[in-house]
Structure 1
């Protein structure tokens, strides 16, 4: 007897609040549909409903071969994480259905049709047709899941900082013509304090060099003083920066940007401390490699998970999308860049690879001589820069694999 006859197939379309489940049999017949909330009591009701369908389907089979239901979810670590963990705790078989497969199944129809019920049916159909090849659902360990969320939050904060800094630049350029000469960075602590107290030049009219020098001395950890104060005041006088229309609203915007930058900087420092503690406790030594900080290490660890589930570096390269795809026909074989795999992990490795092939801004020496030479070697072989970077990424996957496999430090003597 074909083992597929002994199963029902439940495709679930997960959402933020309400999930939709469609159950089919081995003849592609829809035998049930159930909408339920994203809560544990609703999960119990859904499972009871499925058990009723299993009892009905089992009537046509011997008691020693009862019909069981297999669940298919497109998302097991996002909106469907809670449901996936619930089903696994109940000893239910759960398979991960790639959304690309269910989307392709939906497009096979001659007329366009889109609703939660149909999406669930497509997931169930893919589950039945590809049961032997679909991977079993694996939810990330809670510690790795939280680590990923912390690192992602930190990355988002950096994007927010860049956005706010660009807006601050736009407002300061309107008030201070030579504001970039005041401080080496527009967001350094002393600069932020200055912009907050003196968002426009008119507020400096009654300020003496001594007063401004003392203010800068206090807020710059004694790095700036009367000389910097005189430079600022002379620059304002020389460029003729005066009160302009709408200065009050611009002052408010500048002070608001400064407050936001201070708040985000504080949150970022707290996140960095947490990430450092968690990464250090996992005993991986990824940060010993140039270009990998605690944030990148956290993202790598959380996306890769248990390194032992990859038998060899080639498997990790394929999972991350850095193993080339082979197209072969007859005696012709070509290799193309893989556009699939884990795109988050792919992006992380790409960013790390860009650091490996850079040179120091001051000494102009390669940050990582090994990868720098390898990159330029590929260029001399006729590869484009994009292809050469892809080669660096592929070699970087090998290094990361063995560093995580044996929890070893990065060592290179050359």
Structure 2
């Protein structure tokens, strides 16, 4: 970047209730710092404060914001609406750099600004303002309900182990659904200070909780099915890519899917890209990528397992690579990389149109 001293780069350390901003000039000099509430009024104050520090011929170059998917999402949306460039910056490392410079909100904000000033390419934040964001929210509700339903079943079965022999002998042989149905119809048959009556009360409570969660999950699943098919019909039709996997891939890419520059960048985002690990006389070696979105990585794994069982080209590929001496784990890693490439090409175009800037930013008086 060719910057002038009149230019301003802003770094923001975000928190739930308060954000901290540090302003740098185009040559890296520190101009000012500002503490603002995490509200629209606070965002307006920050923008006015930045404009006051822009020189006569300078501009607000960019904002480096931490946590654009959590505490910083409101600020990122506000800045985009005003036509400003927002970069998602990483928090400073816990060791090394922090050991030398210390830790505070202003230090972290300055670190964010200097990451932008360095000219390195940073991730573009998700727009979080379209159909995919709505899909993500429904998926959050469904996933948490599934976990709670599983927990209820595990707790019910663990509690049943300590029941009296007659009740245990009656209920344990039943299938899961039959067990839930029978337990939901149990009556305590006495005061709850009696262990047997308390056992029946708890089993009924857990079973009814499971049934309520089951109905909730069905409702979320219907919405998820309709919205996923509407957002990415080609992706849903891919072999081994069901609605749940398609939804996870859409959420990973975001509404502004063009923020992912290439299929290799998408593979890295999903943790499916091999990492070079060669040095000296050891060249060409790669290691497993343990980064990226682990939920997306798990979704790729599930799709690959389905293809290894039912997709003939994948079955042939597995046979060929096995004959070459690769292990099953190594073959799955290769298949996840190939599947990430295929899914990237099936992603729908961006569903959110970025708002154009209304005009040049006002200069400081």
Q: What's the counterpart of residue 12 of structure 2? A: 12
- Structure 2, gaps ≥5 residues long: 350-365
The 5-angstrom pairing of residues 14-413 of structure 1 reads 14-26=14-26, 28-54=28-54, 58=55, 63=56, 65-99=57-91, 102-103=92-93, 107-111=96-100, 113-129=102-118, 131-175=119-163, 176-177=168-169, 179-182=171-174, 184=175, 186=176, 188=177, 190-198=178-186, 246-305=195-254, 313-329=263-279, 332-357=283-308, 366-404=309-347
Q: Higher mean Cα deviation, 5-14 or 395-404?
A: 395-404
> CA separation of 1:33/1:307 partners in 2, compared to 1, >3 Å: closer, same or farther?
closer
Contact 1:13 1:19 in 2 (8 A): yes
Q: Higher mean Cα deviation, 80-89 or 324-333?
A: 324-333
Bigger Rg, which one: 1
After superposition, give the CA deviation of every residue in 1:136-191 in whole Å (9 maximum; x if it has no partner): 44423422112112123212222221111111111223331363423x3x2x2x53
Q: Distance between the aligned counterparts of 2:194 and 2:307, measured in 1?
A: 49
Structure 2 counterpart SS, 1:275:
helix
> CA separation of 1:394/1:172 partners in 2, compared to 1, >3 Å: closer, same or farther?
same
C-alpha RMSD over aligned residues: 2.9
Q: CA deviation at 1:279?
A: 1.5
Contact 2:14 2:71 in 1 (8 A): yes
> CA separation of 1:378/1:405 partners in 2, compared to 1, >3 Å: closer, same or farther?
farther
Contact 1:303 1:345 in 2 (8 A): yes
Contact 1:284 1:404 in 2 (8 A): no
Q: Distance between the aligned counterparts of 1:49 and 1:310, measured in 2?
A: 32
Q: Distance between the aligned counterparts of 1:398 and 1:51, measured in 2?
A: 43
Q: CA deviation at 1:345?
A: 2.3
Q: Distance between the aligned counterparts of 2:220 and 2:240, measured in 1?
A: 19
- Structure 1, gaps ≥5 residues long: 204-243, 358-365, 407-414
Q: Distance between the aligned counterparts of 1:322 and 1:107, measured in 2?
A: 28
After superposition, give the CA deviation of every residue in 1:240-270 in whole Å (9 maximum; x if it has no partner): xxxx972232222212211211111111111
What's the TM-score once normalised by structure 2's chain length? 0.82
> CA separation of 1:67/1:196 partners in 2, compared to 1, >3 Å: closer, same or farther?
closer
Number of positions where the alignment pairs a residue of Structure 1 with one of Structure 2: 341
Structure 2 counterpart SS, 1:333:
coil
Q: CA deviation at 1:91?
A: 1.5
Contact 2:253 2:260 in 1 (8 A): no
After superposition, give the CA deviation of every residue in 1:277-323 in whole Å (9 maximum; x if it has no partner): 21222252333345433222112122224555656533432332212
Q: Distance between the aligned counterparts of 2:162 and 2:304, measured in 1?
A: 39
Q: Higher mean Cα deviation, 379-388 or 251-260?
A: 379-388
> CA separation of 1:165/1:369 partners in 2, compared to 1, >3 Å: closer, same or farther?
farther
Contact 2:300 2:339 in 1 (8 A): yes
Q: Which has the higher contact order (CA 8 A, sep 6+)?
A: 2
Q: Distance between the aligned counterparts of 1:300 and 1:16, measured in 2?
A: 28
Contact 1:8 1:23 in 2 (8 A): yes
What's the TM-score once normalised by structure 1's chain length? 0.73
Q: CA deviation at 1:272?
A: 0.9
Q: Distance between the aligned counterparts of 1:396 and 1:2, measured in 2?
A: 40
